[in-house]
Amino acid sequence: MIGKLNHVAIAVPDLEAASATYRDTLGAEVSAPLDQPDHGVTVVFITLPNTKMELLHPLGEKSPIQGFLDKNPAGGIHHVCYEVEDILAARDRLKAQGLRVLGDGNPKIGAHGKPVLFLHPKDLYGTLVELEQV
Q: What are φ and ψ of residue 52, in 5° steps?
A: -130, 155
Q: What is the dihedral of CA 100, 101, 105, 109, to 10 degrees?
A: -170
d(CA 107, CA 91): 9
Cα–Cα distances (Å) from 99 to 5, 45, 120, 124, 129, in that order, read 19, 28, 7, 8, 11
d(CA 79, CA 96): 23
Annotated catalytic residue: which of 54, 83, 130, 132?
A: 130
d(CA 32, CA 16): 10
| 130 flagged as catalytic | yes
Catalytic residues: 130
